[in-house]
């Protein structure tokens, strides 16, 4: 028996012990105890349950333990990257190969992890929204100083254009603006009831000549005062709504969690600090053929993706700050994207021929050149932007 086979057999025995330990836990959580990544993702379900209790100490302990375990597993895979690459691409699928194979995780496990991430983002927004809108109620200018003024003014102009367009076409959704004005007037009258009562007393004191003229001068002044007060209330309400909408747009891409697995070429630009990756993916022509056979329109697409990672970067792992840029085209049109966030990945070299690395396992020098790799991991976003290359529209935030 070769040395590699002995090592794999030893790893299989270790994995079997781990699987036996996780089996009863997975029975409760609904995870697959035969795959570490499914265990990892589904374990976030228990964390969400704990977050609803007062057991803060237990919650912190669980989060720390899971992070330590994830780091140890990734470090182990990085340390034995060559062995894992061979194991995952082998025709004979070992127990250890399946246990560490990221592609074997369940869809429900990933969805659980994403719900966990969304719960954290919701908690962040529960603080951000009340603080910002509260500040806007007191002073809109002071509240907007927290934002990019140019982008906020653009947003205001877009909102104003939408509102004007609604009024022009008689959109029913524009009616609440008029209703708000009426409510503001009524609220203003209730709030200043004493003042209005004083006004009624003044009316009784108006001379007969004024009454004979219908009290025109006095009533005109009262009408102007009420209208002015109502406009101020509605204007402030609109300002608060605009600030709230802008905050939601601003934070739309902050704190989102993403998991990914992709195959392409990667290279260290500054060894240990900066890495670059690029991949080309082409739509499956077989799918287009099936669509034609079923009387549907064929769908073909091509996607070009590039990424930079700055932080701790090695051939087998990236951890730090990442930037992703890509473009994809189909029969419907072309779109591009930019994404920035914190990431952590494991990069396994790919030796077997595959469609994602059409130029072979290595481009250039075997040591310093581009190496075909499968990259998988997760990211927490800080900025994202989708750009339609045909219409020019974007949702950059």
Q: Do 206 and 274 fall within a single domain?
A: no
Q: Quote the number of domains for the chain.
A: 3
Per DSSP, 296 falls in state P
Asked if residue 134 belongs to a domain, the reply is no
Q: Classify strands 301-314 and 362-363 as parallel, antiparallel or unpaired.
A: unpaired
What count of residues does the chain have?
397
Q: What is the pLDDT of residue 208?
A: 45
H-run or E-run covering 109:
helix 107-138
Sequence-ordered alpha helix ranges (H) in 213-337 = 216-250, 285-293
Asked if residue 132 belongs to a domain, the reply is no
Q: Do 324 and 227 fall within a single domain?
A: no
Q: Are the beta carbons of 278 and 305 closer than 8 angstroms?
A: yes
Q: Which domain holds residue 195?
A: 139-250
For residue 260, which of 370, 351, 357, 344 has the smallest C-alpha distance?
344
Q: Do 76 and 91 fall within a single domain?
A: yes
Asked if residue 242 belongs to a domain, the reply is yes
Q: What is the pLDDT of residue 132?
A: 78
Angle, nearest 10°, between helix axes 175-191 and 193-205? Answer: 70
For the record, the structure tokens of 333 come out as 């049109």
Q: Can you list the residues of the chain whose pLDDT is less than 70?
A: 1-9, 91-92, 143-144, 146-149, 151, 162-239, 271-273, 276, 278-306, 308, 311-316, 330-333, 389-390, 392, 394-397
Q: What is the pLDDT of residue 346?
A: 81
Q: What is the pLDDT of residue 395?
A: 67
Q: What is the pLDDT of residue 8?
A: 61
Q: Are the beta carbons of 344 and 318 closer than 8 angstroms?
A: yes
Q: Do 366 and 282 fall within a single domain?
A: yes
pTM score: 0.65
Q: Do 10 and 42 fall within a single domain?
A: yes
Asked if residue 98 belongs to a domain, the reply is yes
Q: Do 291 and 362 fall within a single domain?
A: yes
Q: Do 12 and 116 fall within a single domain?
A: yes
How many whole angstroms separate alpha carbon 388 and alpha carbon 328?
10
Q: What is the pLDDT of residue 187?
A: 44
Asked if residue 131 belongs to a domain, the reply is no
Asked if residue 23 belongs to a domain, the reply is yes
Q: Are the beta carbons of 89 and 350 closer than 8 angstroms?
A: yes
Q: Do 288 and 334 fall within a single domain?
A: yes
Asked if residue 152 belongs to a domain, the reply is yes
How many whole angstroms separate alpha carbon 267 and alpha carbon 363?
10
Residue 310 pairs with which residues in a beta bridge?
274, 321
Q: Do 56 and 29 fall within a single domain?
A: yes
Of 250, 275, 291, which marks where a domain is finished? Answer: 250
Of 95, 125, 155, which marks where a domain is finished? Answer: 125
Q: Do 115 and 202 fall within a single domain?
A: no
Of 60, 92, 125, which marks where a domain is finished? Answer: 125
Q: Do 308 and 217 fall within a single domain?
A: no
How many whole angstroms separate alpha carbon 169 and alpha carbon 387?
29
Q: Do 287 and 246 fall within a single domain?
A: no
Asked if residue 64 belongs to a domain, the reply is yes
Residue 264 pairs with which residues in a beta bridge?
373
């Amino acid at each position: 028996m070769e040395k590699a086979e002995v090592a794999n057999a030893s790893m299989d025995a270790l994995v079997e012990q781990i699987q036996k330990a996780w089996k009863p836990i997975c029975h409760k959580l609904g995870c697959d105890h035969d795959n570490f990544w499914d265990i990892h993702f589904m374990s976030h379900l228990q964390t969400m349950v704990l977050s609803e209790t007062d057991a803060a100490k237990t919650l912190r302990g669980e989060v720390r333990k899971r992070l330590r375990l994830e780091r140890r597993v990734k470090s182990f895979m990085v340390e034995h990257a060559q062995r894992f690459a061979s194991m995952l691409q082998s025709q004979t699928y070992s127990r250890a190969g399946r246990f560490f194979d990221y592609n074997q995780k369940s869809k429900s496990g990933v969805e659980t992890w994403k719900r966990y991430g969304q719960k954290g983002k919701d908690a962040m927004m529960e603080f951000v929204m009340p603080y910002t809108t509260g500040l806007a109620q007191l002073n809109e200018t002071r509240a907007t100083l927290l934002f990019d003024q140019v982008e906020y003014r653009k947003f205001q102009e877009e909102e104003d254009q939408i509102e004007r367009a609604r009024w022009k076409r008689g959109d029913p959704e524009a009616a609440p603006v008029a209703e708000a004005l009426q409510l503001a007037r009524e609220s203003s009258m209730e709030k200043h009831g004493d003042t209005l009562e004083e006004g009624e007393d003044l009316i009784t004191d108006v001379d007969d000549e004024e009454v004979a003229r219908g009290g025109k001068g006095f009533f005109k002044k009262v009408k102007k005062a009420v209208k002015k007060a109502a406009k101020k209330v509605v204007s402030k309400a609109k300002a608060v709504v605009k600030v709230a909408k802008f905050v939601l747009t601003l934070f739309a891409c902050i704190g989102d969690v993403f998991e990914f697995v992709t195959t392409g070429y990667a290279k260290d630009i500054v060894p240990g600090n900066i890495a670059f990756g690029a991949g080309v993916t082409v739509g499956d022509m077989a799918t287009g053929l099936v669509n034609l056979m079923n009387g549907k329109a064929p769908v073909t697409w091509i996607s070009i993706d590039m990424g930079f990672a700055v932080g701790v970067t090695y051939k087998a792992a990236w951890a730090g700050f990442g930037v992703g840029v890509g473009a994809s085209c189909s029969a419907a049109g072309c779109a591009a994207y930019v994404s920035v966030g914190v990431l952590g990945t494991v990069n396994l070299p790919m030796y077997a021929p595959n469609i994602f690395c059409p130029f072979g396992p290595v481009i250039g020098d075997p040591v310093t050149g581009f190496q075909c790799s499968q990259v998988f991991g997760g990211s927490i976003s800080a900025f994202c932007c989708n750009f339609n290359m045909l219409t020019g529209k974007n949702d950059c935030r």
